[in-house]
Chains A and B, each alone.
Chain A
Amino acid sequence: MAATAVAIVGDFDPTNPTHRFTNEALARLRLSFEWVPTDHVPEQPADRLRGYAGLWIAPASPYRSMDGALAAIRYARERGVPLVGT
């Protein structure tokens, strides 16, 4: 199975246009991606996120889990994982 390039950390909402545009942008780049809901990011984020080459922190707060969102950002910062937040 090919590795998934990008984890989009956020709580996907199909009615949120920017969430749909994020999907479109990554699809256009032919980058594989998966959404990881903020409340699925565990206390040890590497357990859930280590398989991804980069993280995109999605907009729309309040997140279901602010702790999960911050843990993911911290994981990327401390481990040198590419991250973009919009």
Chain B
Amino acid sequence: MITALACSLVGQQQSVRLLPGTRAAALYGAVSAVEDYYCNYGVNPDYVARLQAGGLRVSGVGDEGELRIVELPDHPFFMATLFRPRPARPARHRIRSCKATPPPSAAAASLGPRLARRRSTPGSPRPPAARRTPAKDC
């Protein structure tokens, strides 16, 4: 189910398209974002349909539709990303902790302004990220 990526994502920044109607899109308050990757592995595309049939929703994809964010719609909050935290922007990682999860609209209202800074801006290409190679990887 997990397979080596055709191209390693270690040290890469890539855009993520946030699919409408998902919790991820509501939390970002945007249609896309740029995120940092340290991965050599990802979900095997051959299994995506089966995962979806089991209730997992794909909520973020790469430029070519590659799976980047998944969530469980019937769960209070269950989300996983292929990308990872980065030092310059640690505050963007926010867990809706503890109690009831607000509906996506409320979550977007509270988190949108912060995450909005992460929106990708068309026409402003990013410089390549410094290559960082952890000893182990995801």
| Shortest distance from the beta carbon of B13 to any chain A beta carbon, whole Å | 14
| Shortest distance from the beta carbon of A62 to any chain B beta carbon, whole Å | 7
Q: Which residues of B contact A83 (CB under 8 A)?
A: 77-80
Given A25-B85, A62-B136, do A82 and B91 touch, yes or no (CB 8 Å)?
Answer: no
Interchain CB contact under 8 A, A6 and B78: no
A80 interface neighbour in B75, B90, B94, Cβ under 8 Å: B75
Q: Which residues of B contact A56 (CB under 8 A)?
A: 95
Number of interface residues of A (CB under 8 A): 33
Interchain CB contact under 8 A, B97 and A86: no
User: What is the chain B residue whose CB lies nearest that of A60?
Assistant: B136
Given A54-B77, A60-B134, do A82 and B38 touch, yes or no (CB 8 Å)?
Answer: no
Interchain CB contact under 8 A, A25 and B93: yes
Bound CA–CA A76/B101 (angstroms): 14
Interchain CB contact under 8 A, B138 and A61: yes
* Interface residue B86 (Cβ < 8 Å from any Cβ of A): yes
User: What is the chain A residue whose CB lies nearest that of B91?
Assistant: A28
Task: List the 4 closest pairs (A to B, CB-CB), nearest first.
Answer: A85-B80, A53-B98, A82-B77, A25-B90
Apart from A25-B93, A85-B81: 14 A-B pairs, beta carbons within 8 A:
A5-B98, A13-B136, A17-B134, A18-B38, A21-B90, A24-B90, A28-B91, A31-B95, A57-B80, A80-B75, A83-B79, A83-B80, A84-B77, A84-B95
